[in-house]
Amino acid sequence: MVEIMKLDHRRLPSDFDVYLFHEGTLYESYKMLGAHLIEENEVQGVRFAVWAPNAKKVSVVGNFNNWIGTMHRLERLDQSGIWVLFVPDLAQGDIYKYEVTGPDGQKVLKADPYAFYTQLRPETASIIYNLNAFEWSDQKWMTQRVKKDMYHKPMAIYEVHLASWKQKEDGEFYSYQEFADELIEYAIDNGFTHIELMPVMEHPYDGSWGYQITGYYSATSRYGTPEQLMYFIDQCHQQGLGVILDWVPAHFCKDIHGLGRFDGTPLFESADPMRAERPIWGTYSFDYSKPEVVSFLISNAIFWMDVYHVDGFRIDAVSSMIYLNHDNPLPVELKNQYGGGENLEAIEFLKKLNEIIFRRFPGALMMAEEATEWPLVTSPTSLGGLGFNYKWNMGWSNDVLKYMKLDVNERPKHHHLLTFSFLYAFSENFVLPFSHDEMVHGKKSLLNKMPGDYWQKFANLRLLFGYLFTHPGKKLLFMGSEFGQFDEWKYQQEMDWMLLDFDAHSSFFNYYKELNKFYQKTTSLWRLDHEQAGFQWIDADNTEQSVITFMRKGKRKGDYCIIVCNFSTEVYHNYQIGVPTKGNYYEAFSSDAASFGGSGQLNSTIRSTNPFPRNNQPYSLEITVPPLGMAIFMKETKTRKRGDHLNGI
């Protein structure tokens, strides 16, 4: 039988750490709370510490005491609400839970909120684990990350749900380490700069896709061990690929072993059921008015960046955090103390989170999934902003997909859906997302959203991706879209890789790969992504022919390209566009190339300018505009000729 050792003050959380925890400023609370393997006075064991201020009793139960709650009772530290116990002779791999007796005398078995590892679902016990054994080899990446100017660099993010990216023949999941052998090479080969993983924090239900979490500090055991996830991230960094995690500080699931009513009372959630409930998701919302919850969440973000070396987060459901009534169909409208609908505590939490993260990790990516017109999301908190450095441009993706789904004959009446985004494109630092949310629940895949016959669907999607990569903002694409997945996303099975055996899909896959590589090597397409100086309309108003023409510009004089997008099925010969300077222009890229599955309506010869002004430009150019196509033109210079455009400037 495992014995109990009397508490030694050297094994206790310090008074100062406890004070900071209750103040909401203990930003590494995972070092104080949870189960930690320690050795003192030649005695090895585990110190358990848990916050449960309203519990009558707390015991630790597990495989080491036959799950009997009377054997290892924790001691409460005065009025702190923290319970502590040191148990000798426990080791990595031992499983445990807390038996928490609430104020009403009811006993519930709870997983450790700070557990570093968890049993494979459907089992739910926490596992004692040491996270300090892995030897990292990504020092070069970590050093360069601090110095990297991501705002003026290309960024193409590959959003991945690990369970359904690829599976083994028997339907089992790959391990994190096996993903390192396949996914990294695939992402790099296709021109992506970052992988964004849908939540890898422990969650009980596969169908939540990881967005309803029970183990915020626990890498899900679905894909292996913590070291295997560290290996995956380490390999990404060594090969030049960033790693972003989806993170969910908005709400958590109600499973009995999770955070809900943790000590027999609402603890991580609000005591007010109207504020605690998130009916649309069947979850609880975090109570940001509690400093301990703030310590828990900010510590969690730091934990993933510090212990797992991740490069940043896409913060899920920010709109539902900052607004009390967003996506929250309650019988009454919630209001703050001033009568408004803003969640003041959540807003302060987000500001504090971003301030602390950027202070600790200057090169971090903090991306808000925010769907409203809330101002200054990506402005510093010192200027009244929320302090993120990127925001998903969901307005752009909604508008452009609404437009692309229209029959081509209807598009002239809805031309504004293409152009409206430029009225606000530089108000925030935007990421343009085609995420998983656009490809589930009957919304269809990107390819199947496109109207027309089989050829037109692919042409429309090539055009859409051309518009994506030439529009200001960083890029994000959900897995499968790069080769034209036809069915919408199914989380239970792997992507339809067999489609690559068909010419239309393999040609489209080649197009995406070449487009992404062209984007990364063409400085004018990203150097001034977040500045008005990086964009200029040439013709935004050709609604009748459904054609738009614009320029993207870099920092240096002469670093520009001209983009023509034709959203009709017509070919326009001898089409006139305005250009800013006299000279010879060549078509550097076209979505209509036959090798991409297009009709081959190319501008295969050099085009010289005419001395006639057009579109408020001093010169004009006569070109062929392909059907449902995008073409990019560049001016020849002494250092840039037709055929070497991939070298950029």
User: What is the per-residue pLDDT across 117-129, written as a single tens digit (0 to 9) for each?
Assistant: 999 999 999 999 9
How large is the average pLDDT for residues 385-411? 98
The answer on pLDDT for 2 being more than 70 is: no
- Domain assignments of the chain as residue spans, ordered by start: 9-127, 532-647
Is residue 585 predicted with pLDDT exceeding 60?
yes
DSSP conformation class of 494: -
CATH code for the part of the protein at 9-127: 2.60.40.10
Can you tell me the mean pLDDT for 132-144?
96
pLDDT band at 647 (very low <50, low <70, confident <90, very high): very low
**What is the average per-residue pLDDT within 171-194?**
96
What pLDDT score does 649 carry? 31
528 DSSP β-pair partners: none
Cα 29 from Cα 33, distance rounded (Å): 6
Confidence of residue 56 (pLDDT cuts 50, 70, 90): very high
Return d(Cα 547, Cα 540) in angstroms, integer. 8
Q: Given 17, 316, 587, 592, which residue is catalytic?
A: 316
Note the pLDDT of residue 640. Answer: 75
Beta strands in 298-449 (DSSP E): 312-315, 365-368, 390-392, 430-434
Amino acid occupying residue 285: S
For 238, the 3-state DSSP assignment is helix
Interatomic CA distance for residues 496 and 292, integer angstroms:
45
pLDDT tens-digit series, residues 208-250 = 999 999 999 999 999 999 999 999 999 999 999 999 999 999 9
Mean pLDDT in the chain?
Answer: 95
Q: Assess whether pLDDT exceeds 60 at residue 26.
A: yes
CA-to-CA separations, 137 to 80, 195, 244, 265, 498, in angstroms, rounded? 40, 19, 18, 44, 36
Read off the tokens for 343.
């969640």
Average pLDDT of the segment spanning 173-198: 97
Give pLDDT, residue 1: 44
Residues 115 and 35 sit within 8 Å (Cβ to Cβ): yes
Per-residue pLDDT, 456: 98
Q: Which of 286, 219, 201, 195 is nearest to 249 (CA)?
A: 286
Burial of 325 per CB tally in 10 Å (0-12, 13-18, 19+): middle
How does strand 82-88 pair with strand 43-51?
Answer: antiparallel
Distances (CA, A) of 508 to 10, 117, 153, 522, 622: 63, 41, 26, 21, 28
Is a pLDDT exceeding 90 seen at residue 6?
no
Residue 602 banded pLDDT, cuts 50, 70, 90: very high
Output the CA angle 10-360-313, nearest 5 degrees.
110
pLDDT mean over 97-112: 98
Q: 247 — phi, psi (to 5°)?
A: -135, 140
Q: Which CATH architecture has domain 532-647?
A: Sandwich (2.60)
Among 72-76, 324-328, 431-435, 608-612, name the one with the lowest average pLDDT: 324-328
**Catalytic residue at 369?**
yes
pLDDT of residue 40: 74
Domains 9-127 and 532-647 share a fold: yes
Q: How far is CA 101 from the centre of its chain?
A: 38
Residue 44: other Cβ atoms inside 10 A: 12
Residue 496's pLDDT band (boundaries 50, 70, 90)?
A: very high
- Residue 610 burial by Cβ neighbours in a 10 Å radius (0-12, 13-18, 19+): middle
pTM assigned to the model: 0.95
Residue 644 has a pLDDT of: 62
The answer to whether residue 4 scores a pLDDT higher than 70 is no
Whether the pLDDT of residue 36 is over 50: the answer is yes
> How many CA atoms lie less than 13 Å away from 321 in the CB half-sphere?
25
Q: Which three-class secondary structure state does DSSP give residue 286? A: strand
Q: Counting Cβ atoms within 10 Å, is residue 332 exposed (0-12), middle (13-18) or buried (19+)?
A: exposed
Tens digit of pLDDT for each residue in 244-263? 999 999 999 999 999 999 99
Q: How does residue 331 score in pLDDT terms, banded at 50, 70 and 90?
A: confident
Q: How confident is the model at residue 648 (pLDDT cuts 50, 70, 90)?
A: very low
Q: Which tokens in the block code for residue 260?
A: 């809900």
CB atoms within 10 A of CB 216: 25
User: β-pairing, 283-285 with 560-566?
Assistant: unpaired
Report d(CA 623, CA 584) in Å as an integer. 12
* Confidence check: pLDDT of 646 > 60: no
Reported in sequence order, the residue ranges of 226-384 that DSSP labels E, i.e. its strands, are: 242-247, 251-253, 277-278, 283-285, 312-315, 365-368
Candidates 227, 369, 488, 559; catalytic one: 369
Work out the average pLDDT over 416-433: 97
Cα 8 to chain centroid, rounded: 43
Ramachandran bin of 88, using left for φ above 0, alpha for ψ from -120 to 50, beta for the remaining angles? beta
CB atoms under 10 Å from CB of 175, counted, come to 19
Distance CA 529, CA 476 (A): 14
Residue appearing with tokens 């969640």: 343
pLDDT of residue 39: 84
Tell me if 588 sits within 8 A of 560, measured CB to CB.
no
Per-residue confidence (pLDDT) for residue 12, from 0 to 100: 82
Percent of the chain with pLDDT over 70: 97
Tokens of 283: 């979850």
Residue 625 DSSP code: E
Pair 46, 35: CB distance under 8 Å: yes
Instruction: List CB contacts of 446: < 8 A, sequence separation 6 or more.
Output: 434, 438, 439, 461, 464, 481, 484, 485
Q: What is the mean pLDDT of residues 546-556?
A: 97
According to the model, what pLDDT value does residue 373 have? Answer: 93
Beta bridge partners of 561: 552
Alpha-carbon span 352 to 366, nearest angstrom: 13
pLDDT of residue 3 exceeding 80: no
- Interhelix angle 226-238/176-189, rounded to 10 degrees, is 20
Instruction: Determine contact, residues 569/628, Cβ cutoff 8 Å.
Output: yes
Alpha carbons 416 and 394: distance in angstroms, whole number:
16
